[in-house]
Copies of this chain bind each other. A is one copy, B any other.
């Protein structure tokens, strides 16, 4: 029961929202991989809150210091540790709510799990802030994947009932995946961006919040990687995606949609193309039997609306065991979906690199 992903890559996360520092150890990385620290910073900046009304006003510089595992600009192959010191902490904001459970947060369950000894400030280890080192890890893995011609990317598929266009599951390209990364608000359609921004602003103004769906894809991932049963790509990716707070669902390829099709509609016909085996459609999301098919890998993750809203809410004080009304102070995101995009990519990157490393090649 740990904050450790123990796959091909071992990712050990630590930190609390208002503790001294947060960070990650990445172990079992391949040695000799050149890392571009500026690109890592760019990747992480996509997760950081921006001053555009879309997210918390908490300022997170989040400059990771790499303490080990990097030598002459390349991975050493021994554990790579990165630390981000916390600075802009407003712990006092949280002083008065420590035993009144914030709805949809882990205050109450964490209190039980840790016998009241966990750090409650800002959610402690349950905070979305711990996705910063997860994203660092994802950024590192991303570069190692790129060295092998593998590109991943993601976009906001929806915010509440506003939908973006979808990735083309058959023809999506690395260029398209890269393009969306350069947008401050990661969608494919300008029109969707405008409507989503409006909706988020409106939610913020009405002291409310919204959730949405992130769609993630990988291209260039070789066919034949993964395993049936417990260590399939779906198993690994989903285990990592559910490490991101607020995720309540995941679906691969056509996902829940495939339950409404006949087999004759959902089955992806195989066909030779340019001398290679492909499928004409990609309802399977690039994974069959837990193993990559060579088609783009595609999944979607559902994020619930941000639990922290400024409206008064009914709750209980779990220490005194009495009903209480709760008003949450502090700075919060009216929507986390845009900031979740690099988190979801990171989960994918860690999973894919892990599967590659676990592939037997002796």
Closest 6 CB pairs of A and B: A106-B289, A112-B224, A249-B251, A209-B263, A263-B305, A32-B117
Tell me, in angstroms, the Cα distance from A143 to B80 when the chains sit together: 28
**A242 x B232 contact (CB < 8 A):** yes
The answer to whether the Cβ of A179 comes within 8 Å of any Cβ in the partner chain is no
Tell me, in angstroms, the Cα distance from A190 to B306 when the chains sit together: 39
Tell me, in angstroms, the Cα distance from A271 to B100 when the chains sit together: 11
The answer to whether the Cβ of A41 comes within 8 Å of any Cβ in the partner chain is no
**A12 x B30 contact (CB < 8 A):** no
Q: Measured between C-beta atoms, what is the minimum distance from A171 to chain B in Å?
A: 19
Tell me, in angstroms, the Cα distance from A356 to B32 when the chains sit together: 19
Tell me, in angstroms, the Cα distance from A2 to B25 when the chains sit together: 11
Q: Measured between C-beta atoms, what is the minimum distance from A327 to chain B in Å?
A: 13
Tell me, in angstroms, the Cα distance from A252 to B13 when the chains sit together: 24
Tell me, in angstroms, the Cα distance from A276 to B307 when the chains sit together: 22
**B302 x A251 contact (CB < 8 A):** yes
* B-chain residues with CB within 8 Å of residue A112 when the two chains form the complex: 223-224, 291
**B1 x A28 contact (CB < 8 A):** yes
Of all chain B residues, the one with the shortest Cβ separation from A111 is: B224
Having A78-B114, A110-B228, one finds 16 other A-B pairs with CB under 8 Å, namely A1-B231, A4-B10, A4-B231, A12-B25, A13-B230, A20-B65, A22-B67, A31-B117, A32-B115, A113-B227, A161-B260, A208-B264, A245-B289, A249-B250, A267-B313, A272-B321
**A20 x B68 contact (CB < 8 A):** yes
Comparing A43-51, A52-60, A124-132, the segment that makes contact with chain B is: A124-132
Of all chain B residues, the one with the shortest Cβ separation from A203 is: B262
The answer to whether the Cβ of A37 comes within 8 Å of any Cβ in the partner chain is no
The residue that A309 contacts in the complex, of B2, B19, B223, B263, with Cβ under 8 A, is: B263
* B-chain residues with CB within 8 Å of residue A262 when the two chains form the complex: 160, 203, 208-210, 305
* B-chain residues with CB within 8 Å of residue A90 when the two chains form the complex: none
**A249 x B252 contact (CB < 8 A):** yes
The answer to whether the Cβ of A226 comes within 8 Å of any Cβ in the partner chain is yes
The answer to whether the Cβ of A81 comes within 8 Å of any Cβ in the partner chain is yes
The answer to whether the Cβ of A103 comes within 8 Å of any Cβ in the partner chain is yes
Which residues of chain A from 1 to 19 have a CB within 8 Å of any chain B CB? 1-6, 10-16, 19
The answer to whether the Cβ of A268 comes within 8 Å of any Cβ in the partner chain is yes
* B-chain residues with CB within 8 Å of residue A80 when the two chains form the complex: 14
Which residues of chain A from 318 to 343 have a CB within 8 Å of any chain B CB? 318, 321-323
The answer to whether the Cβ of A27 comes within 8 Å of any Cβ in the partner chain is yes
The answer to whether the Cβ of A182 comes within 8 Å of any Cβ in the partner chain is no
Which residues of chain A from 240 to 279 have a CB within 8 Å of any chain B CB? 240, 242-243, 245, 247-256, 258-272, 275, 277, 279
Tell me, in angstroms, the Cα distance from A254 to B304 when the chains sit together: 9
Interchain residue pairs with CB less than 8 A apart (16): A2-B230, A3-B231, A4-B6, A4-B230, A12-B25, A19-B68, A20-B68, A30-B362, A75-B117, A76-B124, A104-B288, A148-B362, A203-B262, A211-B258, A249-B255, A272-B321
The answer to whether the Cβ of A296 comes within 8 Å of any Cβ in the partner chain is no
Interface centre among A3, A16, A124, A228 (most CB of B within 10 A): A228
* B-chain residues with CB within 8 Å of residue A211 when the two chains form the complex: 258-259, 261, 263, 266
**B259 x A160 contact (CB < 8 A):** yes
Contacts A262-B210, A271-B323 given: A358-B1 contact, CB under 8 Å? yes
